[in-house]
Amino acid sequence: MALYRYEALDDAGRLQAGSADAGTPAELRALLRTKGLHATRLQPAVEDANKGGGAGGWVSLNARRLEALSAFARHLALLLKAGLPLAQSLQVLSGQVEDTAFREVVLDLGVRVREGASFDVALAAHPTWFPPLFVCVAQAGAAAGNLGQVLGDAAVYYTRQKKLRDKVVSALTYPALMATIGLVVLVFLLAFVVPKVTAVLLEQKQVLPWPTEVLLAVSGFIQAWWWLLLLGAALLGWLLSAALRTTSGRRLADRLSLGVPIVGDLLRKQAVARWADTMSNLLSSGIPVAQALGVVRGALGNVILAEEVERFEEGVRSGRDLSEMLKASPHFPGAVGFVTGVGEESGELPRVLREVAAGYHEEVELVATRLTDLVNPILIVFLGLVVGFIVAAILLPITDFGQIR
């Protein structure tokens, strides 16, 4: 079974929209005909989540939108648990939202619900703010009659995911920022400071030590061709950006990133934590395993791992055990497969996956700390050596001239 969104015409010619579970589009069309509806458009609810290996999942949301989504789910859950109807809860919540753009979205949700649209269809009308994962969870919660509880769990989930992403982004961004600042400082020294200092040395017309010759050559090259270097950097950035927008380019980049020492381990553990946490959240909401795998592969943010999860989905639909496929996976740790098998046998797979996610959250934090502790000293030593070389290249001829005199 899979979740589909549909648009259909009733016998009076009015357009109806909604969502329903069906094995195939043909089955859904037959189901709609029994209700007097003639389908005009069918679309898998998880389709957007699976494009590009990550688009549409929580990874496509920036920090501001993640915070807004988490707060929305948490506050709406509280209002629903207090006994307020959904439409009234959305109206109350719209007055509490500080973000102007998101306030308009919440107001529109309230209007759509009051006009008779189901909550998941109203959410799906705003994919920029509500990823397919959130829509599926809301649809399952509404169908089960526990929307408040499901939204509360979703708020906790998105809060955890934001913390997880912040840790990884911080671990990868800080060394890159340090390297960028160091490079800018070095270019400034070579392009502006060194030429003024070495001008005096060139006037002496003496034989210069080789470090000074190298320094002058590099400095002269930067002064003469700085525009070409900037143009080349801009062109390279544009080419990389264009390549990453293609499936093959993204696949190559993701494969290479997983092979980088420490960084690859960090990204893999982050993906496993995200996969386990998302699967636990979806299964707890009552979504079947195969459909949950279809949703979660759009939230991994890595094409290689998304393709692996797609194979899991196909295997589960054909009757294979998820745990056995996890054990044979080259990208997921074997221990995850064994633990998943225990969850399948005991019927507590959501709880087991939540514990797996918690364990890998801790491992991500440890690896992120280790990466920062390792890279920072290396950068400091490297920059120190470069600056030391520049200072030595300037002082050596000055010392030689002093000895000659």
Domain 174-405 = CATH 1.20.81.30? yes
Return the SS3 of 9: strand
What CA–CA distance (Å, rounded) separates 199 from 346? 79
What CA–CA distance (Å, rounded) separates 171 from 174? 6
Provide DSSP, 311-358.
Answer: HHHHHHHTT--HHHHHHH-SSS-HHHHHHHHHHHHHT-HHHHHHHHHH
Length of the chain, please? Answer: 405
Output the tens digit of pLDDT for each of the chain's 405 residues.
Answer: 555 667 777 777 677 776 666 766 777 788 888 888 887 777 665 444 444 333 334 444 567 778 888 889 999 999 999 899 999 999 899 888 888 888 888 998 988 888 888 898 888 888 888 887 888 888 888 887 888 888 998 888 888 888 888 888 888 787 788 888 888 888 888 888 788 777 776 776 667 788 888 888 888 888 888 889 889 989 998 999 888 888 888 889 888 988 888 888 888 888 898 899 889 988 888 888 888 888 887 777 788 888 899 899 899 989 899 999 999 988 888 889 999 999 999 889 999 999 999 899 889 888 888 888 888 888 888 888 888 888 888 888 777 655 544
- State the Cα angle at 289 between 283 and 292, rounded to 5°: 70
Half-sphere exposure of 61 (CA within 13 A, CB side): 29
* Among 138, 113, 135, residue whose Cα is nearest residue 124: 135
